[in-house]
Structure 1
Amino acid sequence: MSPAHLIEHARQSGVVLMLIGERLTWSASQQPPPDLLALLRDNKPAVIEHLRQQQRAWLERVAALLDTTANDLLARRLIDANDMAEQYRTDPRHAAKLIASCPDWLALARVRGQFREQYARARAREPVLGSHPYKPADPTRRPAWAAARDALHRHSVSSCPACHPPTGRYCPTGRVLLAHYLEQQP
C-alpha cells in the first residue's frame, strides 16, 4: 500500500496523522484497529516522507502567493512546523492572506517595496543589451519562452492544486502548458 493510500485509509478510519518536525503523531476519537497501527509502524519512514513532501508543496504554494520563498517564510518564523502540520490540507490562499495581514509581513513588504523602487530606477538608467544606445528597448516585447514559463508557473504553482512541479505531477492543462514551455525554450 502506498503512503498516500495508507494515510487516506487512516483518515477514513478516524485517525488523523500529523508530522510535526520529524515526529509522526496521530489522534483519533477511539482506539484505531491494531492492523492499521501495525501498517503505520511498518511504513513509518515512507509515511513521514510523503507528509513532508505534501507540507513542503503547500508551503511552496503559500510562498509563491506572497512572492517570496518557503525558506524565507520559515526563517522569519511566519510559518512553523505546527502550522504546516495543521494547515497543509487547506487552501494556501487562506494562509497567504493571514500572513499578508501580519504586522511583521507588512513591515517587510514596505521595505521590499522601497527596495524594488530603487532597483527599478537603477535598472531604468542602465542600457539594455542589443538595443540602440539612444532608443530604449520596447518593454512590451518579451521572448515567447518567458511568457510560456510565466503561464506555466501561474497555473501549476499558484492556482492548481493538482499540479506539483517538484515531483513532475501535472493536470491535463498543466501538461499542455509544460509542453508549450519546453517547445519555446532557447
Structure 2
Amino acid sequence: MNTAALIEQANTAGIMLALNGDRLAWSASKEPSPELLTQLRESKGLIIEYLYQQQRAWLDRVAALLNTSASTLLERGLIDLDDLAEQYRMHPRFAARLIETSPAWLGVSLVRDEVRASHAREVRTQCVPPEVNNVNTPTRENSANKRTVPEWIAARDAFHSHAVGHCDECYPPAGRYCPTGLNLLALYQRATP
C-alpha cells in the first residue's frame, strides 16, 4: 500500500496524522485496529516525508498566491509550523486571504513596493526626456501621505490581532469567534469601503 493510501485509510478510521516539528503525532476519535497501528508504525518515516512534502507544496502555493517566497512567509512569522500542521489540507487561497489581513503582511508588501519603485527608477531610459520619466513617479512626499492608515485598515488590524494573534476561542477559518471577536469583525465589516 502506498503512503497516501495508508494515510487516507487512517483518516477513514478516524486517525488524524500530523507533523509536530520532525515527529509524527496522531489523535483518534476511537480505538484504531492493531493492524492499522502496526502499518503506521512500519511506515512512520515514509509518512513523515509525505506529510512534509504536502505541507511544503501547500506553503509554496500560498506564497505564489501572495507573489512572495515561502521563506519570506516563514521568516516574517506569517506562517509557522503549527499553521502548516493544521491548515495544509485547506485550499491555499483561504490562508493567503487571511495573511493579507495581517499587519505584518502590510509591512512586507510596503517594503516590496518600495523595492519595485526603486528598481523602476533605475531602469529608466536616457533617450526619453526627464519630464516623461518623472510622470507618475512616487516622491517621498506622496509616499508619506500614503502611509496614513484608513479606518478600515485599523479595524482590520484590530480584528486580525485579536482573532488570529491573541484569542484562543477565535478560529476564523471555521467562522468561530468569541464575543469580542464578533464585535471586532462587525466593526471591520462596517468600516470596509
**TM bucket normalised to smaller:** 0.5 to 0.7
Name 2:81's counterpart in structure 1.
81
How far residue 18 of structure 1 moved from its aligned partner, in angstroms, is: 0.5
Offset from partner CA, 1:81-120 (integer Å, 9 cap, x none): 1101111110000001111110011012112112211111
The RMSD of aligned alpha carbons is: 1.3
How far residue 69 of structure 1 moved from its aligned partner, in angstroms, is: 0.8
How far apart are the structure 1 equivalents of 2:51 and 2:89?
10
Name 1:68's counterpart in structure 2.
68
How far apart are the structure 2 equivalents of 1:69 and 1:32?
39
* Structure 1 gap ranges (5+): 127-133, 136-186
How far apart are the structure 1 equivalents of 2:123 and 2:7?
50
Amino acid in structure 1 at the alignment position of 2:63: A
Residue pairs, 1:103-182, within 5 angstroms:
103-125=103-125, 134=127
How far apart are the structure 2 equivalents of 1:125 and 1:32?
68
How far apart are the structure 1 equivalents of 2:100 and 2:125?
32
How far apart are the structure 2 equivalents of 1:45 and 1:69?
27
- SS of 1:124 mapped into structure 2: coil
Amino acid in structure 2 at the alignment position of 1:112: R
1:8 aligns with 2:8: yes
How far residue 54 of structure 1 moved from its aligned partner, in angstroms, is: 0.3
Which of structure 1's runs of 4+ aligned residues deviate more than 3 A?
A: none
With the length of structure 1 as denominator, give the TM-score of the two structures: 0.66
With the length of structure 2 as denominator, give the TM-score of the two structures: 0.64
How far residue 50 of structure 1 moved from its aligned partner, in angstroms, is: 0.4
* Structure 2 gap ranges (5+): 129-193
Amino acid in structure 1 at the alignment position of 2:14: G
Identity of aligned pairs, percent? 52
